[in-house]
Amino acid sequence: MIVVRLPDGSKKNLPEGSSGADLAAAIGPGLARAAIAVTVGGELRDLDRPLADGDDVSIVTRSDDCEEALYALRHSAAHVLATAVRELYPDAGIGFGPPIENGFYYDFAVPQPFTPEDLEAIEQKMAEVARQGYDFERRELSRAEAEELFADDPLKLERLSEIPEDETISTYTDGPFTDLCRGPHVRSTDEIKHFKLLSGAGAYWRGDETRQMLQRIYGTAFFDGGSLEQHLHRLEEAKKRDHRKIGQALDLFSFQEEFGPGLVAWHPKGARIQMRLRRWIEDLLTERDYEFVYTPHVTSEALFERSGHLPTYAENMYPAMEGEGESFRVKPMNCPGHTMIYAARPRSYRDLPLRLSEIANVYRYERSGTLHGLLRVRMLTMDDGHIFCTPDQVEDEIYTCIELIDIVMGTLGLEYRLDLSTRPEKRIGDDANWDRAEEALRDALDRVGRDYGIDEGGGAFYGPKIDIKFKDAIGREWQGATIQLDFNLPERFELEYIGQDNQPHRPVMIHRAIFGTLERFTGFLIEHFAGAFPVWLAPVQVRVLPITDDHAEGAAAIVARLRQAGMEAELDARSDTLSYRVRDGEMQKVPYILVVGDRELEGGTVAVRARGSDRKQIVMPLEEFITKVTGEIATRELAP
């Protein structure tokens, strides 16, 4: 007999050699049918592997909401893909084929890239393999046996040579295909019912550009056909909303070879969006007693030596610049600079909290392979802020930070959630400090009255933090701002304040950003709104179209009046037809298009087409229009 423990703490007696499948069956026939894998001590395993006495076991059932279930399914789908490719291309070399977020891939050594037609044929072959219902059979074998098995597959032999001596070597076979693999897998290929191959791309073996180029195929799989449909629809939507495409079409920004990778130039229209976001956050911060500061962009390297960035973070920093025998660095973050401002004079408890903000460009030497449009850049504009306070003030400060986030998210109509990350195993600072800090964060979160998740042990070594994640219009989740407590920098820079007791104390430092970086946040906003920004953010808020040349002068006067009222208005008096110009304004996602002819000019009115109103036109006095739209801008309305 063996005894295993279930997640609810109950125990189950099973005959020696029982597997996860046997356990599921012993609990009930419904569970036996739904089971797809198990976790043993948190590690995902095949349903058919024997359990051991004392194992903590949890049954994983088929569900598109369960990461582990999807992991097993997609890993198995990757093998089915390789099975199909080997059927069609018997000489194809086999690289890696892991599950990834939202799907899986497999790398193949083949002489030609796969065409879309090839992918279609492979997909059909995959469906055949799936229908065959081959079992995934696990085999454990010796190194010598494995070397013989993969003798004519150099990529597998290389992988094999890296498996440590003490690790079990295993293969998985489904029908005609055998792969060197740790598993786990679902029981049979017929679980792979709802899948789709998405794209092919060249990929270097092991991501190393000095090695051979392989052909990677990406795909995805789900348990439920509806989930697959939904996912494919989302991918289509995401493609249409790609901020790089929309940025080009609306002339917002550019990346150019001469600037270098990951360095963005904001064109006038993109810069307007940046400016509005900046002014907004500056106003919000001013109302909350922040002080604005400016710190050098290039500083002596010694600063980052002292802050600890050079020892631990150097690979993400631009290389040093030399001059007059000294080394300089461009800043990857503002924290050390703000710390220096705090340390520049003696501080008393009466000076605290000291809230410093700097909306500054910082530069990070991100790997060129990870750069992605505005979402991952090397020049970042952070709405950065650092609060220096006493331990007793932490809760209030955190509360204000969350309140700010709530205002920003609410104004933009975004759903968001908060996660509290607590002390990790490896950390600095004594436990009493951590207790106090975590409690302050919890109390602040409770005071805000929002549900939050807890990531046990997910904090940084120097302090706990709160992460914000929000959802976009097509349901994708984005990582947003962070509120981070820091015991480390005050220590390194020996920051002090004189307390009420006349003794020196160490302040707590809070790092926080609301947007995070303006680049990434703008990239997000472009995709979320699909370029159709609410009027307060729209780079062009109003476009005025004279019906004929005779109305051009009157239209220009209206543009001048709108600009005087503080709006971004522009004239489109091109000789194209009116309907062409209306369509162009719609393509540029301009919130309001005003059409002006004889009737309007005589009556002091404008014919208004609001974006999304299906070309319905409302005639109203110009001044009424101005009052309406300046109101929408002032209150940051989401519509139109």
* Residue with smaller CB distance to Zn ion, 335 or 360: 335
Ranges assigned E (strand) in 205-353:
213-222, 253-255, 264-266, 291-292, 298-300, 321-323, 326-330
Ranges assigned E (strand) in 212-350:
213-222, 253-255, 264-266, 291-292, 298-300, 321-323, 326-330
Residue 509 interacting with Zn ion (CB under 5 A): no
* Residue with smaller CB distance to Zn ion, 335 or 626: 335
Partners of 140 in beta bridges: 170
What is the closest distance, in whole angstroms, from the C-beta atom of residue 342 to Zn ion in the complex? 12
200 phi, psi to nearest 5 deg:
-120, 150
Peptide bond into 296 cis (omega under 30): no
Instruction: Work out the number of other CB atoms within 10 angstroms of the CB of residue 449.
Output: 6
* Residue with smaller CB distance to Zn ion, 158 or 637: 158
CB-CB contact of 36 with 46 (8 Å):
no
Q: How is residue 318 written in tokens? A: 């631009």
Which window, 224-232, 363-371, 503-511, 600-608, contacts Zn ion (CB under 5 A)? 503-511
What is the closest distance, in whole angstroms, from the C-beta atom of residue 169 to Zn ion in the complex? 13
* Residue with smaller CB distance to Zn ion, 71 or 399: 71
CA-CA distance, 285 to 283, in Å (whole number)?
5
Query: How crowded is the C-beta side of 171, counted as CA atoms within 13 Å?
Result: 19
What is the closest distance, in whole angstroms, from the C-beta atom of residue 387 to Zn ion in the complex? 10
Q: How is residue 1 written in tokens? A: 């007999």
* Residue with smaller CB distance to Zn ion, 150 or 625: 150
User: How distant, in Å, are the alpha carbons of 515, 547, 622 from that of 557?
Assistant: 38, 15, 11
Based on its alpha-carbon atoms, the radius of gyration of the chain, rounded to whole angstroms, reads 30
What is the closest distance, in whole angstroms, from the C-beta atom of residue 420 to Zn ion in the complex? 19
Binding Zn ion (rule: CB under 5 A), the pick from 505, 511, 528, 589 is: 511
What is the closest distance, in whole angstroms, from the C-beta atom of residue 179 to Zn ion in the complex? 5
What is the closest distance, in whole angstroms, from the C-beta atom of residue 612 to Zn ion in the complex? 40
Block residue for tokens 């946040």: 521
What is the closest distance, in whole angstroms, from the C-beta atom of residue 378 to Zn ion in the complex? 18
Which window, 54-62, 181-189, 287-295, 577-585, contacts Zn ion (CB under 5 A)? 181-189
Nearest of 182, 180, 176, 175 to residue 151 by alpha carbon: 180
C-alpha of 333 from chain center? 20
Which window, 52-60, 177-185, 278-286, 514-522, contacts Zn ion (CB under 5 A)? 177-185
Which window, 175-183, 349-357, 370-378, 594-602, contacts Zn ion (CB under 5 A)? 175-183
Ranges assigned E (strand) in 205-251:
213-222
Q: How is residue 131 written in tokens? A: 């229908």
What is the closest distance, in whole angstroms, from the C-beta atom of residue 275 to Zn ion in the complex? 23
C-alpha of 202 from chain center? 24
CA-CA distance, 416 to 112, in Å (whole number)?
45
Which window, 266-274, 353-361, 507-515, 573-581, contacts Zn ion (CB under 5 A)? 507-515
Which window, 114-122, 127-135, 332-340, 573-581, contacts Zn ion (CB under 5 A)? 332-340
Angle at 486 between CA 480 and CA 489, to 5 degrees: 125
* Residue with smaller CB distance to Zn ion, 331 or 528: 331
* Residue with smaller CB distance to Zn ion, 181 or 558: 181
Which window, 83-91, 178-186, 443-451, 458-466, contacts Zn ion (CB under 5 A)? 178-186
* Residue with smaller CB distance to Zn ion, 483 or 547: 483
Instruction: Work out the number of other CB atoms within 10 angstroms of the CB of residue 321.
Output: 12
Which window, 37-45, 88-96, 179-187, 396-404, contacts Zn ion (CB under 5 A)? 179-187
DSSP state of 256: -
What is the amino acid identity at position 554?
G
Is the torsion defined by CA of 473, 477, 478, 484 positive or negative? Answer: positive
Residue 77 interacting with Zn ion (CB under 5 A): no
Residue 335 interacting with Zn ion (CB under 5 A): yes
What is the closest distance, in whole angstroms, from the C-beta atom of residue 386 to Zn ion in the complex? 6
Q: How is residue 539 written in tokens? A: 């780079």
* Residue with smaller CB distance to Zn ion, 36 or 594: 36
CA-CA distance, 30 to 83, in Å (whole number)?
31
* Residue with smaller CB distance to Zn ion, 181 or 590: 181
CB-CB contact of 23 with 12 (8 Å):
yes
Which window, 138-146, 333-341, 344-352, 361-369, contacts Zn ion (CB under 5 A)? 333-341
What is the closest distance, in whole angstroms, from the C-beta atom of residue 382 to Zn ion in the complex? 8
Q: How is residue 195 written in tokens? A: 């899948």
What is the closest distance, in whole angstroms, from the C-beta atom of residue 62 to Zn ion in the complex? 19
* Residue with smaller CB distance to Zn ion, 508 or 537: 508
* Residue with smaller CB distance to Zn ion, 214 or 273: 214
* Residue with smaller CB distance to Zn ion, 181 or 537: 181
* Residue with smaller CB distance to Zn ion, 273 or 335: 335
Instruction: Work out the number of other CB atoms within 10 angstroms of the CB of residue 7.
Output: 10
Binding Zn ion (rule: CB under 5 A), the pick from 47, 181, 356, 408 is: 181
Instruction: List the interface residues with Zn ion, window 113-132 (CB under 5 A).
Output: none
Partners of 384 in beta bridges: 358, 513
Which window, 198-206, 217-225, 267-275, 335-343, contacts Zn ion (CB under 5 A)? 335-343
Q: How is residue 506 written in tokens? A: 């160490």
What is the closest distance, in whole angstroms, from the C-beta atom of residue 334 to Zn ion in the complex? 6
What is the closest distance, in whole angstroms, from the C-beta atom of residue 159 to Zn ion in the complex? 11
| Binding residues for Zn ion, total number by CB under 5 A | 3
Using CB under 5 A, list all residues that contact Zn ion.
Answer: 181, 335, 511
